[in-house]
Structure 1
Amino acid sequence: MMMMMQSEHLIQTSWPIQPYFDSNSDYYENEYHETFSSINSTPENSMISSGLYGCVEYPLLGYDQMQNPSPVYSESQNINSLDDVCRWLCDDDDDQELEEIQSTVTVADPMEEISDVSEPECQTGLQNLLQAYADSMAMGQMELAKVIVRCISEKINPVGQILERISFNLFVENQEEYLKQESMRNFKKAFRVFYDIFPYGRFAHFTANSTILEAVPTHMESVHIVDFDLGEGTQWPQVIEAIAQMNKSLIITSIKLDQDQDSQFHQTRWHLCKYARTFGLNLKVQEIEMEQLMNTITERKSQKEFTVFNCMVGLPHMGKTRKTNQVTNFLKLAKLVLTENKGIISFGDGEEGERMGNHSNFPSFFNKNLTHYKALYESIEQGFPSYLKEARIAMETLFLAPFVSSKTWFQKWEEQRENTSCLNNNIVGLKGIKMSKENWNEARELVKEGESSYGIRIEGENGNEMVLEWSGVSLVKVCAWM
């Protein structure tokens, strides 16, 4: 009973969730089946319904719904699903795994009793060391930085307080890999819970989709979406259904960023096209290199086609970061295309502190990132009861650790000093699209503003930026221009 009550509590952090379905699709019997990793084989999302576009509701669905669309919402089914996950999280086997992790890494004993007085002092000392590290790096004193890192290593703990866990991910790379391997064993369950409970990805997708659909002119016959990172395609079911309702045609072009992403693209294309057919939409999904994009757009140039450039980067559920030059090149190209074509740029960023402005020095940049990830870790920690520590560790390792690296932060700051990584430098001259009041209200409902530390605010010169925050700290920012 206690477990069921806890599951209900977790569900309350998101909008109504469509029950999950196991895929029995014959797609997995074809030649591509063997090439798919466990990460890509079962993408999951949740159901979000919105009345923004008249009386029609556009759900934000994942592949489970694409494969087995069902109009019936069964809360009890979803509770049972989360209950099963909670049982996994509390298995005795996971306690053994946690002990293995603790014995493998060289950190302070996480079970050691710490008094209420010593704990804040310990955190303050670690904070001061982190600040000293940033200062030494800014002054080019690498040997001093190495000494400080050794001091930090004596205070970090992968299962300790938030700052200890962040510091562990910042500086301990080899031991972090062990944690990742252990967490990957339950990736599907972790991803399912992570996306449904926490609003980061759903907020970004819903806000961008709403803005896109509101911007499509009624006289346009076709919509062409150029997606920077298509991934599993979890953003687009809502748009597919809406475009079908509008009686327009739809093309989705995926930018090929990695040479080894072909198998994932084939899977994503198959799912999206199958889902589109349920609404009578003949969807075309294609993949091209970024260098080929301009020629493709030019060849398709039409007065009746609306072009959407969509870029989602650094969202926690993505569990990966992209090279800064890839993002900036995409935005530059999008801006160039929109000077001659009717369209929109939608941009969702989970690392907005790194791209939204110039920092005069590395300590400023470092502290901005540190504040951002402390808030993100805190929001996750408060989403779980203490007895589900293993789940939190797994999710932090899978979805946050890839973004927390001292080397990566320093490299990104150096790029920013060259004025190449600041987002604002790549969209000068475009007009920001004001976020609608309806969109804002829907986002506030999504995060249950007022009932938690999550909040939604509007920013930008003309209100074209919507921000998901935690206790006043920005977590995810979505903006749009045309």
Structure 2
Amino acid sequence: MLGSFGSSSHDEEEEPTASPSDIVPYHHNHHQIQPPPLRGFTSPATHMRQLLISSAELISQSDFPAARRLIAILSANSSPYGDSTERLVHLFTKALSLRLSFNTTVTTTTSGGSSVSHVLNTTEESLVQSSYLSLNQITPFIRFSHLTANQAILEAIDQGQQAIHIIDFDIMHGVQWPPLMQAMAERHPPPTLRITGTGNDPNTLRRTGDRLAKFAHSLGLIFQFHPLLLIDRDDPASAASALSAVLLLPDETLAVNCVLYLHRLLRDRDRLHYFLSRIKAMNPRVVAVAEREANHNQPIFLQRFVEAVEHYAAVFDSLEATLPPSSRERLTVEQVWLRKEVEDIVAAEGGGRRERHERFRSWEVMLRSSGFSNVPLSPFALSQAKLLLRLHYPSEGYQLHILNDSFFLGWQNQPLFSVSSWH
């Protein structure tokens, strides 16, 4: 198992909300616009990705009529029901169409720049939440991040410590914590556990707290949950000021959990440094960090686009290899959750962009400059991650790699996620 690593379009046609039940099955026909012929020995998959990049180049050159023509070709030759390349191209052409639509109808945020975000109705929000839970089940990336972060927290806490406090940034459904709670309940005597969970929806925070409290009760674990509402969870100033409301008790051991969160604060790097310094001043025993291993924070659109195509091509290939073609869960994940991410990276600009992923080396520099030191992840954490892959995702394509005392999980030779521990 160990390996080594070398929102909707508003273009000419309105794209409906991406619900799997609403998507009309795709059928090939003899009247499709055909892509330009292949050159040399280029594979069809590589050729289609090259056409995607050509479309992005035309947009970056403001040649919008030519871009629309090429996007029409790609749209006619891609499908949410095809192979991994067809599905990838389908998603990216929708995102390119959305970017083109901003040339005529520009949506702006208060901080400037185009944004693909909109207020979700109850049905859309439910679909997004459901797609996240499906993503957690059918891919190893989130579970790997949670499992490894949990192990880093457990190992940083002394066996005899009787009071644990975890601050979890963007707790969402809290799916990370039941395994850790179970491990704590098996300690003798079991410690008390307090979780401060942040989010921007009070109802989701309340439901998450109720679920965790019921689970803790079933384990006989003394537990408290404190919701911490962030008006703007993507604003580092808002996140930093919220730390002032966190109650710290002298007898508690503090752990901070930043799993797939810090990248959202990159729109203001100075304030992000301030946020990290505020965490450091709280003297946590451990800070767990997980992030995508990709650079989607390039200010130049074309560079960002090429990086995104490469990253998500590996994600789609991994889904292709591990799930049957008829998987509705995969369709939901790709057409709802991954679509939301891709549209943000491709179509949004300026302060409107949320998915600002950067590579581990950037996070390493930022964390060290904020006073943190890297804590090596343990051999036991490694064996746990390998076991997770072997038992639940038995494809040889998933590879686990160790670099700078941190773990990287990827597909084939492409690292996709990193997890690290800091003090």
Per the normalisation by structure 2, the TM-score is 0.70
Q: Deviations over 1:316-347 (max 9, x none)?
A: xxxxx956449995674244332452421111
Q: Give the deviation of 1:201 after TM superposition.
A: 1.8
What does 1:239-258 correspond to in 2, within 5 Å? Answer: 239-244=180-185, 245=187, 247-256=190-199, 258=200
Aligned to 1:441: 383
Q: Give the deviation of 1:430 after TM superposition.
A: 1.0
2: distance between equivalents of 1:95 and 1:287? 33
SS for the counterpart of 2:295 is helix
Q: Give the deviation of 1:134 after TM superposition.
A: 4.3
1:307 aligns with 2:229: no
Q: Which amino acid counterpart does residue 315 of structure 2 have in structure 1? A: L
Q: Deviations over 1:71-102 (max 9, x none)?
A: xxxxxxxxxxxxxxxxxxxxxxx99965x354
> Normalized per residue, which structure has more helix?
1
SS for the counterpart of 1:229 is coil
- Does the aligned pair in 2 maintain the 1:169–1:401 contact within 8 Å? yes
Specify whether residues 444 and 188 from structure 1 end up closer, same or farther in structure 2 by C-alpha distance, changes over 3 A only.
same
Of 281, 287, 290, 1:348 maps to 290
Q: Which amino acid counterpart does residue 311 of structure 1 have in structure 2? A: C
Aligned to 2:3: none
What does 1:156-167 correspond to in 2, within 5 Å? Answer: 156=75, 157-158=78-79, 159-167=81-89
1: distance between equivalents of 2:395 and 2:358? 39
Q: Deviations over 1:129-166 (max 9, x none)?
A: 333344456xx522x25632530331232233433322
2: distance between equivalents of 1:110 and 1:368? 34
Aligned to 1:365: 304
Q: Give the deviation of 1:456 after TM superposition.
A: 0.7
Of 34, 51, 58, 1:129 maps to 51
Q: Give the deviation of 1:413 after TM superposition.
A: 11
1:286 aligns with 2:226: yes
1:153 aligns with 2:75: no
Of 319, 332, 345, 1:380 maps to 319
Specify whether residues 420 and 207 from structure 1 end up closer, same or farther in structure 2 by C-alpha distance, changes over 3 A only.
closer
Of 404, 416, 437, 2:342 maps to 404
Per the normalisation by structure 1, the TM-score is 0.62
Q: Give the deviation of 1:423 after TM superposition.
A: 3.0
SS for the counterpart of 1:477 is strand
- Does the aligned pair in 2 maintain the 1:155–1:164 contact within 8 Å? no
Between 145-154 and 376-385, the greater mean CA deviation after superposition: 145-154
- Does the aligned pair in 1 maintain the 2:301–2:346 contact within 8 Å? no
1:232 aligns with 2:173: yes
Q: Which has the higher contact order (CA 8 A, sep 6+)?
A: 2
Q: Which amino acid counterpart does residue 322 of structure 2 have in structure 1? A: G
What does 1:119-198 correspond to in 2, within 5 Å? Answer: 122-135=44-57, 141-142=61-62, 144=63, 147-156=66-75, 157-158=78-79, 159-172=81-94, 194-198=135-139
2: distance between equivalents of 1:148 and 1:286? 50
What does 1:40-55 correspond to in 2, within 5 Å? Answer: none
Q: Give the deviation of 1:223 after TM superposition.
A: 1.6
Query: What percent of counterpart residues are identical?
Result: 20
Specify whether residues 286 and 184 from structure 1 end up closer, same or farther in structure 2 by C-alpha distance, changes over 3 A only.
closer
What does 1:38-117 correspond to in 2, within 5 Å? Answer: 100-102=24-26, 109=29
1: distance between equivalents of 2:30 and 2:274? 48
Aligned to 1:453: 397
1: distance between equivalents of 2:320 and 2:422? 35
1:473 aligns with 2:420: no
Where in structure 1 are there 5+ consecutive unaligned residues? 1-93, 316-320
